[in-house]
Amino acid sequence: MFKWIIVGGGIQGITMASYLIKQKKIAVEDLVIIDQHAEPLANWRRCTNAISMPYLRSPGVHHLDVNPFSLDAFVKSNGANEAGSFLGRFKRPSLLLFENHCDHLINDLALKQAWVQGTVEAVSKITAGWQVHLQNADKVQGENLVLAIGNSEQLSWPEWAVTLKDQCQAPVYHIFDPALPEFEEMQAPFTVVGGGITAVHLAMKLSTLFPEQVTLLKRHPFRIHDFDSDPGWLGPKKQISFRKASSYQKRRMLISQARHKGSIPRDLHIKLLHQQRKNKLQIEEAQVHHAAFETDAVQLYDETDRLLHQSGTVLLATGFESMMPGGTWLPSVIKENRLKCANCGFPIVNGNLQWDQNLYVMGSLAELEIGPIAKNISGARQAAERIIGAH
Ligand SMILES: Cc1cc2nc3c(=O)[nH]c(=O)nc-3n(C[C@H](O)[C@H](O)[C@H](O)COP(=O)(O)OP(=O)(O)OC[C@H]3O[C@@H](n4cnc5c(N)ncnc54)[C@H](O)[C@@H]3O)c2cc1C
């Protein structure tokens, strides 16, 4: 019997583990992290590496360790070049620094000792806590259970792309698809569909690999925002009024309004325009309505059947679906344990993110309590803080 079971070893789950060990002095032997992947942070690494994001969007105080200045201290203690590790006035860490720091934390806390690779397919309440059932028929019991399952596996595909893929083997891929072929195996020229930070990072990367063979096709003018929601959402300025909203419909509306969906920070916009001026890539604005694959080219059309663009490969940088994670097994857990959910289907939890006795949620499952930052690193830190506050 473990003291704590964490389902999901992504950004959220690893942050939780680090808070439990460092703040609550839970021994690593009393903790188990169950995840489908062989290694921690698999989705994070796959997505950020696919687009070769050089710097994080969030500031250097947002990482998976407890002490907010841990990343700073890590740079100093490793004699790394601080100027090269952080970017700009928000001190955004480089991806390399962030990942080295994550690795250091994971090793330091011996989190791989707590790692169990497996897929959770059911959860049931037992007298002493919770029992987690894995696909391979193993069972794991724990006093407390944290659900830290994200939605980085629920890729958002535009309807026209789904239709095209149903019709033929067109070279249209979602950039976060785990089965994404190597870029070198793909047919140029490339069209990147999307107008947010992922699309821009990807277009920049491809424009260095395949200069003059990349078009960024976006459906709206660039939305320039340093962060993906107003920094007021990190603290009481916005959070107090959010929590005062007793209607969960209203909270859902506030979350949607607060998110700067499809936005990019100013410095990235400047770099992109620079690449455009050097003719390394093209930027076009149009909305794809339907597509066809003929004579080795993907043809993208608008709703008047006008040919917008033609390319060898289309890469979708269209993000993730925002539906509730755990779709295949969580609904029966909700039903059996009569767990409270809002109209949007997401958990209604208390201030400690408790959904039932000794059952906690974080990440997107905690959105209605944490607010628009729930899925981010800052949201993981706040969630972990609140969960340990219950004990
Ligand atoms: C390209 C990119 C850049 C980003 N940059 C930033 C940034 O700069 N700053 C920031 O704050 N945020 C950033 N984010 C957002 C955010 O930090 C991530 O989306 C975050 O990784 C979400 O973490 P998670 O733990 O919720 O999900 P995941 O990383 O998906 O982890 C959840 C884990 O749970 C596992 N799991 C799910 N279901 C089961 C099951 N049934 N059984 C077993 N295991 C299961 C999954 O396999 C997965 O490993 C970025 C996101 C992306 C994609």
DSSP 106-148: HHHTTGGGGEEE--EEEEEEETTEEEEEETTS-EEEEEEEEE-
Q: Tell me which residue of 9, 10, 19, 2 sits closest to 353, measured CA to CA.
A: 19
Mean pLDDT on 272-277: 94
Q: Given a cut of 80, is residue 83 above it in pLDDT?
A: no
Mean pLDDT, to the nearest integer, of 206-222? 96
Nearest atom in ligand 1 to the alpha carbon of residue 8 is: 34
CB 374 within 8 A of CB 383: yes
Please report the pLDDT score of residue 390 as a whole number.
85
Q: Which pair of tokens denotes residue 334?
A: 């909700």
Nearest to 219 by CA among 309, 292, 295, 348: 309
Given the structure tokens 């857990």, which residue do they identify?
333
Q: Give me the helices (H) in the chain, please.
A: 11-22, 42-50, 70-77, 82-85, 95-108, 159-167, 197-209, 236-244, 248-258, 266-277, 330-337, 367-370, 377-388
Ligand 1 pocket, residue 56 CB under 6 Å? yes
The amino acid at residue 164 is L
Q: Whose CA is nearest to atom 53 of ligand 1?
A: 47
> CA dihedral defined by 22, 9, 124, 132, rounded to 10 degrees?
-100
Cα-to-centroid distance, 350 and ligand 1 (Å): 23
- Rounded CA-CA distance 341/344 in Å is 8
Domains and CATH numbers, the chain: 2-153+321-388 (3.50.50.60), 159-225+260-316 (3.50.50.60)
Is residue 82's pLDDT more than 90?
no
Place of tokens 């395949």: 210
Would you say the CB of residue 87 lies under 6 angstroms from ligand 1?
A: no
- Residues recorded for the chain: 391
HSE at residue 343, side-chain half, CA atoms within 13 A, is 7
Q: Please tell me if the CB atom of residue 35 comes closer than 6 angstroms to any atom of ligand 1.
A: yes
Q: Is 198 in the pocket of ligand 1 (CB under 6 A)?
A: yes
CA pair distance 313, 187, nearest whole angstrom: 6
Confidence (pLDDT) at 152: 86
Q: How far, in Å, are 303, 378, 387 from residue 240 at the CA level?
A: 44, 17, 18
Q: Give residue 151's pLDDT band: very low, low, confident or very high (50, 70, 90).
A: confident
pLDDT above 80 for 81: no
- Residues 361-374 have a mean pLDDT of 97
Nearby residues of 52 by Cβ (< 8 Å), 6 or more positions away: 201, 205
